Protein backbone atom coordinates (compact mmCIF):
# COMPACT_ATOMS: atom_id res chain seq x y z
CA UNK A 1 0.00 0.00 0.00
CA UNK A 2 1.40 3.39 -0.97
CA UNK A 3 2.24 5.67 1.95
CA UNK A 4 3.10 8.80 0.00
CA UNK A 5 0.95 10.24 -2.76
CA UNK A 6 2.70 12.52 -5.23
CA UNK A 7 0.59 14.67 -7.53
CA UNK A 8 1.46 17.43 -9.95
CA UNK A 9 -0.56 19.95 -11.89
CA UNK A 10 0.76 19.03 -15.31
CA UNK A 11 2.92 16.48 -17.11
CA UNK A 12 5.32 19.36 -17.63
CA UNK A 13 6.07 19.25 -13.88
CA UNK A 14 7.35 15.68 -14.15
CA UNK A 15 11.08 16.46 -14.57
CA UNK A 16 10.91 18.19 -11.18
CA UNK A 17 8.51 15.87 -9.39
CA UNK A 18 10.24 12.68 -10.42
CA UNK A 19 13.08 13.72 -8.12
CA UNK A 20 10.70 13.11 -5.20
CA UNK A 21 9.79 9.72 -6.63
CA UNK A 22 13.44 8.79 -7.07
CA UNK A 23 14.28 9.75 -3.50
CA UNK A 24 11.35 7.75 -2.12
CA UNK A 25 12.49 4.76 -4.18
CA UNK A 26 15.93 5.08 -2.64
CA UNK A 27 14.33 5.08 0.81
CA UNK A 28 12.15 2.10 -0.12
CA UNK A 29 8.95 4.01 0.57
CA UNK A 30 5.94 2.97 -1.53
CA UNK A 31 4.35 5.89 -3.37
CA UNK A 32 2.05 6.77 -6.23
CA UNK A 33 2.60 9.46 -8.85
CA UNK A 34 -0.26 11.12 -10.69
CA UNK A 35 -1.11 14.22 -12.70
CA UNK A 36 -4.18 16.23 -11.72
CA UNK A 37 -4.76 19.92 -11.98
CA UNK A 38 -6.73 21.98 -9.50
CA UNK A 39 -8.20 24.07 -12.32
CA UNK A 40 -8.36 21.53 -15.16
CA UNK A 41 -9.55 18.51 -13.16
CA UNK A 42 -11.02 19.94 -9.94
CA UNK A 43 -13.36 16.98 -9.35
CA UNK A 44 -10.50 14.50 -9.67
CA UNK A 45 -8.37 16.47 -7.20
CA UNK A 46 -11.24 16.71 -4.75
CA UNK A 47 -12.01 12.99 -4.91
CA UNK A 48 -8.37 11.95 -4.62
CA UNK A 49 -7.55 14.20 -1.69
CA UNK A 50 -10.79 13.43 0.15
CA UNK A 51 -10.12 9.70 -0.08
CA UNK A 52 -6.37 9.85 0.52
CA UNK A 53 -6.39 8.97 4.24
CA UNK A 54 -8.77 6.03 3.72
CA UNK A 55 -6.57 4.87 0.84
CA UNK A 56 -3.73 4.50 3.34
CA UNK A 57 -1.57 7.49 2.46
CA UNK A 58 0.26 9.13 5.36
CA UNK A 59 1.75 12.13 3.56
CA UNK A 60 0.91 13.90 0.32
CA UNK A 61 3.28 15.81 -1.93
CA UNK A 62 1.80 18.25 -4.46
CA UNK A 63 3.82 20.15 -7.04
CA UNK A 64 2.63 22.90 -9.34
CA UNK A 65 3.81 25.96 -11.16
CA UNK A 66 2.48 29.46 -11.84
CA UNK A 67 -0.69 30.16 -9.73
CA UNK A 68 0.05 26.96 -7.89
CA UNK A 69 -3.18 26.25 -6.05
CA UNK A 70 -2.95 22.44 -6.24
CA UNK A 71 -1.20 21.92 -2.86
CA UNK A 72 -3.65 24.23 -1.08
CA UNK A 73 -6.69 22.61 -2.67
CA UNK A 74 -5.38 19.16 -1.74
CA UNK A 75 -4.78 20.36 1.84
CA UNK A 76 -8.32 21.73 1.98
CA UNK A 77 -9.70 18.23 1.40
CA UNK A 78 -7.61 16.23 3.87
CA UNK A 79 -6.08 16.37 7.34
CA UNK A 80 -2.99 14.52 6.10
CA UNK A 81 0.19 16.59 6.00
CA UNK A 82 0.66 18.14 2.56
CA UNK A 83 4.06 19.18 1.25
CA UNK A 84 4.04 21.67 -1.60
CA UNK A 85 6.69 21.93 -4.29
CA UNK A 86 6.76 25.22 -6.20
CA UNK A 87 7.74 24.41 -9.81
CA UNK A 88 9.72 26.88 -11.85
CA UNK A 89 7.93 28.22 -14.92
CA UNK A 90 9.18 30.58 -17.59
CA UNK A 91 7.83 33.57 -15.67
CA UNK A 92 8.77 35.33 -12.42
CA UNK A 93 11.56 32.89 -11.60
CA UNK A 94 9.21 30.56 -9.76
CA UNK A 95 8.22 33.24 -7.23
CA UNK A 96 4.62 32.96 -8.45
CA UNK A 97 4.40 29.30 -7.43
CA UNK A 98 6.44 29.78 -4.26
CA UNK A 99 4.22 32.55 -2.94
CA UNK A 100 1.04 30.75 -3.98
CA UNK A 101 2.04 27.70 -1.96
CA UNK A 102 3.87 29.16 1.02
CA UNK A 103 1.35 31.92 1.66
CA UNK A 104 -1.58 29.70 2.63
CA UNK A 105 -3.87 31.67 4.93
CA UNK A 106 -3.84 30.50 8.58
CA UNK A 107 -5.86 27.34 9.16
CA UNK A 108 -4.92 25.11 6.24
CA UNK A 109 -1.13 24.86 6.10
CA UNK A 110 1.02 23.48 3.32
CA UNK A 111 4.61 22.63 4.26
CA UNK A 112 6.58 24.28 1.49
CA UNK A 113 10.00 23.37 0.13
CA UNK A 114 12.20 25.44 -2.15
CA UNK A 115 11.57 26.07 -5.84
CA UNK A 116 11.95 22.79 -7.76
CA UNK A 117 13.22 21.08 -4.60
CA UNK A 118 11.12 17.92 -4.87
CA UNK A 119 13.95 15.93 -3.32
CA UNK A 120 13.47 17.81 -0.06
CA UNK A 121 9.75 17.09 -0.21
CA UNK A 122 10.52 13.38 -0.28
CA UNK A 123 12.99 13.68 2.59
CA UNK A 124 10.46 15.61 4.65
CA UNK A 125 7.83 12.98 3.88
CA UNK A 126 10.29 10.34 5.06
CA UNK A 127 10.88 12.29 8.27
CA UNK A 128 7.14 12.34 8.93
CA UNK A 129 6.89 8.59 8.32
CA UNK A 130 9.93 7.99 10.51
CA UNK A 131 8.17 9.44 13.56
CA UNK A 132 6.09 6.26 13.78
CA UNK A 133 8.23 3.66 12.01
CA UNK A 134 11.56 2.45 13.40
CA UNK A 135 12.77 0.99 10.08
CA UNK A 136 12.24 4.28 8.29
CA UNK A 137 13.88 6.11 11.20
CA UNK A 138 16.95 3.88 10.80
CA UNK A 139 17.07 4.47 7.03
CA UNK A 140 16.81 8.18 7.60
CA UNK A 141 19.67 8.06 10.09
CA UNK A 142 21.81 6.23 7.49
CA UNK A 143 20.91 8.81 4.87
CA UNK A 144 21.89 11.64 7.23
CA UNK A 145 25.19 9.96 8.07
CA UNK A 146 26.01 9.44 4.37
CA UNK A 147 25.14 13.03 3.62
CA UNK A 148 27.37 14.27 6.37
CA UNK A 149 30.30 12.24 4.98
CA UNK A 150 29.62 13.56 1.46
CA UNK A 151 29.76 17.13 2.75
CA UNK A 152 33.19 16.55 4.23
CA UNK A 153 34.48 15.03 0.96
CA UNK A 154 34.30 18.51 -0.58
CA UNK A 155 36.78 19.81 1.97
CA UNK A 156 40.05 20.52 0.21
CA UNK A 157 41.48 23.16 2.49
CA UNK A 158 43.69 22.75 5.52
CA UNK A 159 42.65 23.36 9.10
CA UNK A 160 42.58 27.07 9.81
CA UNK A 161 42.42 28.00 6.10
CA UNK A 162 39.70 28.29 3.53
CA UNK A 163 35.98 28.98 3.89
CA UNK A 164 34.93 30.07 7.34
CA UNK A 165 38.44 30.24 8.81
CA UNK A 166 38.15 33.93 9.50
CA UNK A 167 35.13 33.12 11.65
CA UNK A 168 37.04 30.62 13.74
CA UNK A 169 35.93 27.56 11.74
CA UNK A 170 38.30 24.64 12.24
CA UNK A 171 38.04 21.74 9.82
CA UNK A 172 38.57 18.41 11.59
C1 LIG B 1 0.32 24.48 -13.55
O2 LIG B 1 0.62 25.26 -14.64
C3 LIG B 1 1.14 23.23 -13.67
O4 LIG B 1 1.49 22.75 -12.42
C5 LIG B 1 2.35 23.65 -14.47
O6 LIG B 1 3.48 23.89 -13.65
C7 LIG B 1 1.92 24.96 -15.11
C8 LIG B 1 1.90 24.91 -16.60
O9 LIG B 1 1.14 23.80 -17.04
P10 LIG B 1 1.15 23.37 -18.58
O11 LIG B 1 0.50 24.49 -19.31
O12 LIG B 1 2.59 23.19 -18.96
O13 LIG B 1 0.37 22.10 -18.64
O14 LIG B 1 -1.01 24.15 -13.53
Span 1-47, pLDDT tens digits: 999 999 999 999 999 999 999 999 999 999 999 999 999 999 999 99
- Would the pLDDT of 170 be above 60? no
CA distance 100 to 70: 9
Task: Give the integer Cα–Cα distance in Å for 147 and 141.
Answer: 10
Q: What is the pLDDT of residues 50-109, one digit of tens each?
A: 999 999 999 999 999 999 999 999 999 999 999 999 999 998 999 999 999 999 999 999
Residue nearest to atom 7 of ligand 1 (CA): 65
Q: What is the DSSP letter of 7?
A: E
130 or 149: which leads in pLDDT: 130
Gap from CA of 63 to ligand 1 centroid (Å): 10
CA distances from 75 to 60, 72, 80, 155 (A): 9, 5, 7, 42
Index of the ligand 1 atom closest to the CA of residue 37: 14
- Beta strand 59-65 pairing with 4-8: parallel
172, pLDDT greater than 50: no
- Contact call for residues 80 and 111 (beta carbons, < 8 A): no
* Cα 8 to middle of ligand 1, angstroms: 9
Amino acid sequence: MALVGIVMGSKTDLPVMEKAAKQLEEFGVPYTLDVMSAHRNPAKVSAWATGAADAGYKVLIAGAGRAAHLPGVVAAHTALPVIGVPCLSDHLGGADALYSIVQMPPGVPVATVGIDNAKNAAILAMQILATSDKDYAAKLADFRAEQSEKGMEHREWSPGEGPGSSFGFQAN
